[in-house]
Structures are given as C-alpha cells and as structure tokens.
Chains A and B, each alone.
Chain A
Amino acid sequence: MGELRAKWKVNMYAWLLLLPSLIFLLLFTFYPVIQTFILSFHQADLGSPEPFFNGIDNYKQMVEDEVFWKVLTNNIWFAIGTVPTSVALALGMALFANKALRGKSFIRTAYFYPTVVPMIAVANIWLFIYTPEYGALSHVMEWFGKGDMNWLGDQKNVMWAMIFMVIWKEAGYFMIFYLAGLQNISQELYESASMEGASSWTVFRRITFPLLMPTTMFVSIIAFTNSFKLVDHLVIMTKGGPDNASNLLLYYIYETAFSFWDQGMASALTIVMVVLLLLVAAFQFFGMDKKIHYN
C-alpha cells in the first residue's frame, strides 16, 4: 500500500509541474483543433441558422472545388520556391557574416533587418517596388527596355514576385540560427582539417554542413510552416489575385470563413492544412532525424 501511495505522490508532482503548460495546450491548441474537426462535418454557413451535421459533404465539395486545388498547388509552389532558397541563402549569408573580417556587425544587421520589419510594412514597401511604370523595380527594368512589366497584375509573374519578397524577408531570420550553429562548431576541427590540406569545399561538405544539419532541420521546418502561415502580404498586395494566381491556402481559409461566412467549409480546409503540415513535419522528424548528428 505504502509503495502505491509513494508512487501516486511522485506522479502527482509530475502532473502538477506539467499543469500550467497543459492548461494552455488544452485551451488554445487541442480544444480548438477538436472543435474545428467537429465543425468540418457540419454545414455552418449564412444559409443555415444552426449548424447541422452533413457528414463528409464539405470534403466532397472541396475536392470538386477548382479554387481549392489551385490554392493548394499555389501553396506547394510557394513552399518549393521559398523553403530551399531561403534556407540556402541563409546558410550562405551566415557563412559570409561569420567569416567577414570588416563590418561584421554591419553585415549582420543588414541581413537581419528585414526580419524586424512587420510583414504589413514589408508588403507596402514591396508594393511600391513592384508598381508598374513608376515603381523601383520598373525603373531598373527600364534600362533593359522592359519597364512596362506588371509584376503583381500578371498571373505568370505574381507568384515569383511573392516568392522573391518572402525570401528577402525570411533569409535573415534563418541566418541567425545558422550563425549560432556555426559558432558551436569548434575551431579546432577547422584547424585540424587545414593541417590535412582540405579545400574549403571539402571542409564545408564534410564538416560544416553535416554539423549544421540540426539547424538546417529546424530552420526548414520553420520555413515550411511559414510558407503556409505567412499570408499578411496578400491582404495588402493582391488579395490572392489576379484570378487566385497568388492565393494561398490560409488566405483562402480566411476568405471562406470571414468573407463567404462558410464556417463548415473553412473548418474542413483547416483540417486539410493541419494534416498536411503534420505529415511533412513527421517526415522531417522521423525520416531525416536518424541521419542527423546531434551533439
């Protein structure tokens, strides 16, 4: 009996210690997710005064919805366009900022500065840059005789314009993680490699890059979730247009919920997004984690 009591006491302590974070997790994560999950099987739009159960109708409609597929494809392209490039660029910038002998802090500040600018402000700045005829970019393009390009108004260009802007915004943020990672690598390792006469490419490929893998892993998960999360600029710049060419999943969810007031459909879309993100995160964590060296 005494043993059981002692065990219970230990467990009690554990639960008490977990309690604060548990409350917040339950309240703000699990409960909303479950509610959303339930709501996704209901019809809850302006036409139905009380939400009522409609099975998998929302999901069926979604599959038939062209805009959904377009938005999903857009988002996948957006992720493919932003994640590897911003991560690679961040690594490059970190390597440079770490090596730079002069103006180290200036370079770091310059690289990091886009991160501290709010996305709304960024969107406004880039809206001006992309403005046809009198925008900053148009002035530059004029030298090449292409000053008349409409970056945001053209279905072909708008996604590229967005991807470019987001890379600019994010790379500096990821660079900070890489800088920290680089500073964790012992200088002795590089000295040892230089005694062997390893070229800088070999050193990068065989030492720096593998030892930065935990950072790369972390940063790419953040970058990937950001590519689904970051939609502030759409509100300012394109509202998803022209013809949904720049629309992303989260912004579409927002529109469905708060412009078309179809809460059931918005919930179903949210569930799709959550599952998608979970799948990718799971793949990254369980698939790639084994190949990564952690100190």
Chain B
Amino acid sequence: MAEVELRRISKMYGGQKVVNEVSARILPGEFFVLVGPSGCGKSTTLRMIAGLEEISTGELLIGGKPMNQVPPSGRNISMVFQNYALYPHLTVKDNILFGLQVRKVDKAEQGKRLERVAEMLGIAHLLQRKPKELSGGQRQRVALGRAIVSQHPICLMDEPLSNLDAKLRGHMRTEIRRLQQELGITMIYVTHDQVEAMTMADRMMVLRDGEVQQVGKPLDVYNHPANLFVAEFTGAPPMNTVPAIWRAGDQAGIEVAGQHFLPLPMFHGSKDQTPVVLGLRPESLQPALEGQSVDASCQFPVTVQGVEILGSETIVEFTVGDKLWKAKWNGQWHCKRGETMHVHFDPAQVNVFDGETGKNLAVTTN
C-alpha cells in the first residue's frame, strides 16, 4: 500500500515556522500536487516526506507505518530533483542503474529494467552518453528514468519542469501524467505553476506561508476557491476582485465602489455594511450584445483600457473601482482603448469573500 499520510506536520528553522501543521492523506495511485508561490513551504514539505529534512512536529505515515525516524532509503520512495541531480561523471546508463547497483539488484534484472525504462522514455540511444551531452529535455527523461527504474510505489517530484522551455514543459506534463497512470505510482508533485497543478493533479493542495489554504480537485479549487488567496492564485489571468460593501435589508446585495449594486439573495448572516470582496473569473465576464436580454443588475458598462488579442481568445482590460480587471473572450475582438462596452456575468459565478479574513462566504467546507 502506497498511501501517504501527513498528520499535522510542521517544520521549524530556528524559531521560525516554515511549515505549519500540514495534514493530508494521499491515496495510492493518486497524483497529488503541492502548489503555492515561492517560499510557501511546499518544497520543505516534500523534503520532509522524502526524509531529506527532519520533521519538527507531526507524524508521517507511509502505507500506515510511521516514517519519521526512517531514513530516506527505507521509505520506498523515489525522487526527481529540480536540477535533475544527474551524476555528471557517469553515463546515462550508470545514472539510471546507480540505485539498483547500490541495492545490489541482480545484474540480469538490472538489464531488464534498464531496457524497459529506456524504451518507455525513448532514451535507448542515449545510454552511453554523459549528462552534459544531453539537452534539457533528455536530462529530464533520464531523471525520470532513474526514478521509475527503482519501481518504488511512490514518486516525489520537486519542480521538475522549471528548467524547460514552455513548449517542452507542456509536452513533459502530459508525459509525466501518462507514465504515472501507466505505472500506477502515487505521485507527490511540487510546483509553483498553477497551470501544472490544474492540468496534472487528481487533487491539489494550495499552500501559503506554510499554511494549507485548500485541498481539493483542481476544478473544485478553481470554481470554489476557499479564500481570496486561492482565488487570485489560480487561473490565468487570475480571478478579478474588487472591495465592496454588503448591504442587508429588503433587497440584499453588494455595492461596488458606491456605484453599482448587485442583488445577491444567497448569502445570509452578514450584517449590513460588512466589507466584502467581490470576485469574478475573467471568463465569467462576457460582452453584452445588443438585443440580448440580460438582467440589468448583472450588466455594467466599462471603458476599455487595453486589449490583448491572443488569436483564439481576447483579453480585455478595464477598471472596476480602483482595480484593473481582465475579461477573457473567445475569438478575436477588435476593441479600442477608451471604447465603452457593456459586460454581463452570471450571478451564479460570483464569489464573495470576507473583507477581513478573505474567506469565501459561499464555501462552507473546511
């Protein structure tokens, strides 16, 4: 069983807590992504799981067994490092076989596994080369090969794609995902790139300053961000937000920048005049075309500040309150700067966050 369980795991450096009581249960065969901005403690968490970093408090269980005191090699884990950690003086073949040689695996078995891995990753023709004779993508494959050849049920990856160019990164994303599914490995993957998290993960954990912000399936996290931080971290461009005020009374709703009033019947409990933050995804804001019948309260005029036409989609910028918002529209929209347009949105896609704590007022989980 390759289940990994983190029970209130913390890491202290001196007096500073860099990881604060992180808990998670990662199921066998799951692709679990730790995501967050740099310095959020995601790599430290991963290194604690690997055993490269001591766990200050909390408990780590792998396959139900406590692992806090077990050295890295006893945890049944393989790891892919950010800079691949290939031995520069060894050939690709020796790099891949290093672990097996150390563990004195039978020679014939070594050969068999090497052949399979080389074929799986398409690196059979590179086996006699040294790492410096390889391209970035090839090195990445060798590092993957080294992790796979050990046949450990759990694999950890620490930002493995950050050294590759954008195109190759997209390619490797699918490849890593494919390998993980084919081999049925439990994968714990660290990245700062929310796109990687969204596209690869079965479940993702968003971290900030060592604290868990949200754990869940990528789409759940995207559609129902637990707080303002998660909302602004996910999505490209991220969620648009603007400070607003909650108005209770006969007609409850939100007042934005003292001008626009949006009736929202679904929130309860908030007092009149509570400061809140209104959030809307860029793709939730669509152009209101003439002749289209939309509720007037879900529509507002904007002055275009900037336009980015990306071919298949167009990003239109405008200000709401004192914030710059972006809307993402399909197709090519030739808007001009200074032009006034009407945009509308579906009230069901509105997110409202607490003005002080940043908590999503609609999400009642956790």
**A interface residues with partner B (beta carbon < 8 Å):** 186, 188-189, 191-198, 202, 206-207, 210-211, 213, 293, 295
Contact flag A192-B81 (CB < 8 Å), given A197-B72, A197-B102, A202-B102: yes
Stretch at the interface among B83-91, B186-194, B225-233, B351-359: B83-91
Pairwise interchain contact A195-B73, C-beta atoms closer than 8 A: yes
Contact with A along B60-90 (1 / 0, CB 8 A): 0000000000011110011101111101111
Pairwise interchain contact A197-B74, C-beta atoms closer than 8 A: yes
Q: List 6 A-B contacts (CB under 8 A).
A: A189-B87, A192-B79, A197-B99, A198-B102, A202-B102, A206-B90
Name the CB-closest residue of A to B147: A195
Interface size class for chain B?
20 to 34
CA distance A108 to B92 in the complex (A): 37
Pairwise interchain contact B72-A195, C-beta atoms closer than 8 A: yes
- Neighbouring B residues of A211 by C-beta, 8 Å: 88-89
CA distance A211 to B132 in the complex (A): 14
- Neighbouring A residues of B333 by C-beta, 8 Å: none
Give chain B nearest CB distance to A165 CB in angstroms: 36
Pairwise interchain contact B85-A196, C-beta atoms closer than 8 A: no
The verdict on B363 contacting chain A, using a C-beta distance below 8 Å, is no
Pairwise interchain contact B89-A293, C-beta atoms closer than 8 A: yes
Contact flag A194-B72 (CB < 8 Å), given A188-B83, A210-B89, A295-B88: yes
CA distance A192 to B160 in the complex (A): 14
Pairwise interchain contact A196-B102, C-beta atoms closer than 8 A: yes
Pairwise interchain contact B88-A197, C-beta atoms closer than 8 A: no
- Neighbouring A residues of B99 by C-beta, 8 Å: 195-197
Pairwise interchain contact A186-B79, C-beta atoms closer than 8 A: no
- Neighbouring A residues of B79 by C-beta, 8 Å: 191-192, 195
Pairwise interchain contact B52-A196, C-beta atoms closer than 8 A: no
Pairwise interchain contact B98-A191, C-beta atoms closer than 8 A: no
Give chain B nearest CB distance to A82 CB in angstroms: 28
Give chain B nearest CB distance to A248 CB in angstroms: 37
CA distance A27 to B150 in the complex (A): 61
Give chain A nearest CB distance to B102 CB in angstroms: 5
- Neighbouring A residues of B142 by C-beta, 8 Å: none
CA distance A195 to B337 in the complex (A): 56
CA distance A202 to B50 in the complex (A): 20
The verdict on B103 contacting chain A, using a C-beta distance below 8 Å, is yes
Residue from B72, B74, B81 in contact with A188 in the complex, judged by beta carbons closer than 8 Å: B81
Interface majority SS on B: helix, strand, loop or mixed? loop
Interface majority SS on A: helix, strand, loop or mixed? helix
Most chain B beta-carbon neighbours within 10 Å: one of A188, A210, A211, A293:
A188
Give chain A nearest CB distance to B46 CB in angstroms: 12
- Neighbouring A residues of B85 by C-beta, 8 Å: 186, 188-189, 191-192
- Neighbouring A residues of B71 by C-beta, 8 Å: 194, 197
Give chain B nearest CB distance to A204 CB in angstroms: 13
- Neighbouring B residues of A197 by C-beta, 8 Å: 71-74, 99, 102-103
Contact with A along B98-112 (1 / 0, CB 8 A): 110011000000000
CA distance A189 to B146 in the complex (A): 13
- Neighbouring B residues of A189 by C-beta, 8 Å: 85, 87
CA distance A189 to B132 in the complex (A): 15
CA distance A241 to B74 in the complex (A): 61
Contact flag A196-B81 (CB < 8 Å), given A189-B87, A211-B88, A293-B88: no
Residue from A188, A195, A206, A210 in contact with B77 in the complex, judged by beta carbons closer than 8 Å: A195
CA distance A206 to B98 in the complex (A): 9
Give chain B nearest CB distance to A205 CB in angstroms: 11
Q: Which residues in window 25-60 of B have CB below 8 A to A?
A: 50-52
Pairwise interchain contact A195-B50, C-beta atoms closer than 8 A: yes
Pairwise interchain contact A196-B98, C-beta atoms closer than 8 A: yes
- Neighbouring B residues of A198 by C-beta, 8 Å: 73, 98, 102
CA distance A194 to B98 in the complex (A): 11
CA distance A198 to B71 in the complex (A): 11
Residue from A186, A206, A213, A295 in contact with B83 in the complex, judged by beta carbons closer than 8 Å: A186
Contact flag A207-B102 (CB < 8 Å), given A191-B52, A194-B71, A194-B73: no
Most chain B beta-carbon neighbours within 10 Å: one of A192, A196, A207:
A192
